[in-house]
Amino acid sequence: MQPEIRGGAERAARGTSIATPAVLPRWLLAAALVLAGALHAGSVAWPWGGQALWWLQLLALAAGVWLIGQPVAGGDSRKRAFRAGFLRGWLFALAWLCTTFWWLYVSMHTYGGMLPWLAGGAVVLLAAGLSLYYALAAGLWLAWRKAHPFRPWGGLLFAALWLLAELCRGVLFTGFPWGAAGYAHVDGSLSGFAPWLGVYGIGFVAAWFAAGLGQMLWKLPLGHGAHLPSPATPRGTMVLALGTLGLGLVLQQAVNPGLTRSAGDRPLRVELLQGNIPQNEKFQPNGGVLVALEWYGAQLGASSSDLVVIPETAIPMLPQQLPPDYWQALQHRFAMGDQAALLGMPAGNADTGYANAVVGMAPGGVRTIGGTRQAELALPPAALPEYSYAKHHLVPFGEFIPFGFQWFVDMMQMPLGNFQRGALSQPRLLWQNQRIQPNICYEDLFGEELAASFGEPGVAPTVLVNVSNIAWFGDTVAIDQHRHISRMRAIELGRPMLRATNTGATAIIDHAGRVQQELPRLQRAVLFGEVEGRDGVTPFAWWAARMGLAPLWLLGLIVAAVLLLGLRRR
């Protein structure tokens, strides 16, 4: 955010002789944009430690703004400015996104058997396509700035266009918002805005902040005694920057704790299982399948906590495919006593379709509340009612096959595909005075979809449970990135998040996004702990449950339309 000088100063500047700024060599500008984009990716989860670095996100994006705004060779016409901004924004975003989800290469090459050049090319192609949203935003912004170098609200326009680009990436073509800028602030004071605005709202505030810093950098000399025309003043920029950080801190420390309250009469004792089954062995009948059935079966049988949770497809077979008496033994185990279980596994049959599911068992049969009840998954006959949750947001190519892409799935040698889609808001499991809502794998990437369960406060979840299998991506920063995604959902919704994963990060996260306990990655282990459920609905959960992301779309579109219309009139 930044103050900008008004028309009088603009006219004075026009009447003053200003040296022409030097144009940076193209190779140097391109290299700097790539470096800034790569550092921006590192801010979401630093590759050598996994921590989120909020300050690096602001500095990297500010550097990106400064670089995108550099003089354009051949003149500063609006068309040239748009083309230059488009290419510069695309290059920054390409470096950012390639560095963010480079680990897709591991799943495609190491486990999918794709040739290295083909797997690498697929990652670059995906990043290149998603970068077009940011390229368009940068092009429009630079064209506006060239026409109005001293006009107010340039930073606000950048933030609005950035917000629209982030929303497009997160929504269009099923959405893939992995590594959105707001996640870098999960440990920073801007996370105070999460229960109000969500992760995209944090990204909007951060972009406005970074644009102010970037425009302030334009006052640095570029050669021949010249600098870029800038509306920002160092003092004003610092005042607004510190004010933004201060407001976030006040929300985080003083306001947000009162948005929710403790639910239930005592904490829930939980066991989260991490089987660490290598992905290349996971579906081998005499390898990972046998190990999984033996180890998870033993741990489930010995469980003594209120709730035990196993990861996504931890049991990698349909219930009817399991060895004789295995499923019946599990049903008998949880039909009595004081323990309940949530089991990640596929479910269904050829007639009803298959689903990536979570199956629940509890003494006396499960009870549920709220949500949209859908057709029951085809499970083996049971004497007591069982709970089932079917994954709603499916992964393209892994869980459903886009039209015309069967060849890609065949090349990846994926054993699962074309699952049935569950309802958006499904029933909550009632257990020990808690309302427990599962989500599977990267479903927790879509906060607006999790918020759909908060439309009726009296039946909203009190505890969220994520079951995942990130083994597809090896021992990479994907594990740390996914942990931060779950933490952001906990802050947005004011709910604790239990994470049971195959290889990591298996963790207990409280309602403020703090990791209370976590298992070491790539180890076979059980995490014992307690979790306090929460009642109450955050502002983000309230409006997202009713309107989805529409308020943010409107914010971005209205600001962009009002300011860009001035460019057309000019």
For residue range 451-465, list pLDDT tens digits in order. 999 999 999 999 999
pLDDT for the residue 52: 97
Residues 142, 152: Cα–Cα separation, whole Å: 14
pLDDT for the residue 81: 92
Total number of domains in the chain: 2
Per-range mean pLDDT, top range of 120-134, 225-239, 336-350? 120-134
Residues 510, 530: Cα–Cα separation, whole Å: 10
Question: Is 50 exceeded by the pLDDT of residue 508?
Answer: yes
- Please check whether residue 400 lies inside any domain of the structure: yes
Residues 166, 134: Cα–Cα separation, whole Å: 8
Question: Is 70 exceeded by the pLDDT of residue 296?
Answer: yes
Regarding whether 291 and 248 lie in a shared domain, the answer is: no
3-state secondary structure 145-179: HHHCCCCCCHHHHHHHHHHHHHHHHHHHHHCCCCC
- 8 A C-beta contact, residue 179 and residue 44: yes
**pLDDT level of residue 419 (50, 70, 90 thresholds):** confident
- Please check whether residue 545 lies inside any domain of the structure: no
- 8 A C-beta contact, residue 426 and residue 450: no
Produce one character per residue of 95-134: b if its CB has 16 or more CB atoms within 10 Å, e if not: bbbbbbbbbbbbbbbbbbebeeeebbebbeeebbebbbbb
pLDDT for the residue 376: 65
Regarding whether 470 and 356 lie in a shared domain, the answer is: yes
Q: Which residue has the tokens 């886009």?
A: 402
Prior bond to 263 cis, omega within 30?
no
Q: Which residues are catalytic?
A: 312, 391, 441
- Please check whether residue 398 lies inside any domain of the structure: yes
Regarding whether 412 and 341 lie in a shared domain, the answer is: yes
Regarding whether 557 and 533 lie in a shared domain, the answer is: no
Which H or E run includes 472?
A: none
Can you give the CATH number for the domain in which 529 is found? 3.60.110.10
Lowest average pLDDT, out of 70-84, 291-305, 309-323, goes to 70-84
Q: Which amino acid is at 436?
A: I
Residues 360, 385: Cα–Cα separation, whole Å: 9
- 8 A C-beta contact, residue 499 and residue 506: yes
pLDDT for the residue 154: 85
Q: How many CB atoms lie within 10 A of CB 301?
A: 11
pLDDT for the residue 320: 87
- Please check whether residue 318 lies inside any domain of the structure: yes
pLDDT digits (tens, 9 = 90+) for 402-415: 666 667 666 655 55
Q: What is the mean pLDDT of residues 380-400?
A: 80
Q: Which residue has the tokens 């979570």?
A: 358
Regarding whether 455 and 442 lie in a shared domain, the answer is: yes
Regarding whether 275 and 233 lie in a shared domain, the answer is: no
Residue 428, classed as helix, strand or coil, is strand
Burial of 281 (0-12, 13-18, 19+ CB in 10 A): middle
Residues 156, 143: Cα–Cα separation, whole Å: 15
**pLDDT level of residue 232 (50, 70, 90 thresholds):** low
Q: Which residue has the tokens 């079917």?
A: 390
Q: Which residue has the tokens 């049969």?
A: 365
pLDDT for the residue 366: 87
pLDDT for the residue 418: 73
Q: What is the mean pLDDT of residues 469-482?
A: 95
- 8 A C-beta contact, residue 232 and residue 215: yes
Which residues form the domain of 560?
A: 7-14+26-258+550-569
Q: CA end-to-end span of the chain, whole Å?
A: 24
DSSP 453: G
pTM for the structure as a whole: 0.91
Q: Which residue has the higher pLDDT, 197 or 373?
A: 197
Q: What is the mean pLDDT of residues 130-145?
A: 96
pLDDT for the residue 73: 78
Question: Is 50 exceeded by the pLDDT of residue 12?
Answer: no
Residue 53, classed as helix, strand or coil, is coil
pLDDT digits (tens, 9 = 90+) for 509-550: 999 999 999 999 999 999 999 999 999 999 999 999 999 999
- Please check whether residue 473 lies inside any domain of the structure: yes
- Please check whether residue 50 lies inside any domain of the structure: yes
Phi, psi (deg, nearest 5) at residue 68: -60, -30
C-alpha distances out from residue 364 to 297, 310, 332, 341, Å: 21, 21, 11, 13
Regarding whether 493 and 414 lie in a shared domain, the answer is: yes
- 8 A C-beta contact, residue 114 and residue 411: yes
pLDDT for the residue 266: 93
Average pLDDT, the chain: 88
- Please check whether residue 544 lies inside any domain of the structure: no
Regarding whether 109 and 223 lie in a shared domain, the answer is: yes
Q: Which residue has the tokens 């060895």?
A: 323
Among 61, 34, 123, 56, residue whose Cα is nearest residue 476: 123
Per-range mean pLDDT, top range of 60-64, 228-232, 564-568? 60-64
pLDDT for the residue 382: 66
Question: Is 60 exceeded by the pLDDT of residue 1?
Answer: no
Regarding whether 120 and 68 lie in a shared domain, the answer is: yes
Residues 102, 255: Cα–Cα separation, whole Å: 38
Residue 433, classed as helix, strand or coil, is coil
Q: How many Å separate Cα 161 from the centre of its chain?
A: 19
C-alpha distances out from residue 400 to 127, 171, 223, 367, 405, Å: 21, 17, 55, 30, 10
Q: Which residue has the higher pLDDT, 438 or 412?
A: 438
- Please check whether residue 20 lies inside any domain of the structure: no
Among 424, 273, 430, 421, residue whose Cα is nearest residue 360: 430
Regarding whether 371 and 512 lie in a shared domain, the answer is: yes
Q: Token digits for 198?
A: 């969500």
Torsion of CA 113, 118, 124, 129, to 10 degrees: -100
Give just the sign of the alpha carbon dihedral 446, 452, 453, 454.
positive
Regarding whether 276 and 242 lie in a shared domain, the answer is: no
Regarding whether 322 and 201 lie in a shared domain, the answer is: no
Antiparallel, parallel or unpaired: β 387-390 and 353-361: antiparallel
Query: Nearest-5° angle of CA 479, CA 316, CA 299?
Result: 80
Phi, psi (deg, nearest 5) at residue 387: -95, 145
Q: Which residue has the tokens 């000019």?
A: 570
Question: Is 70 exceeded by the pLDDT of residue 236?
Answer: no
Percent of the chain clearing pLDDT 90 (strictly above): 69
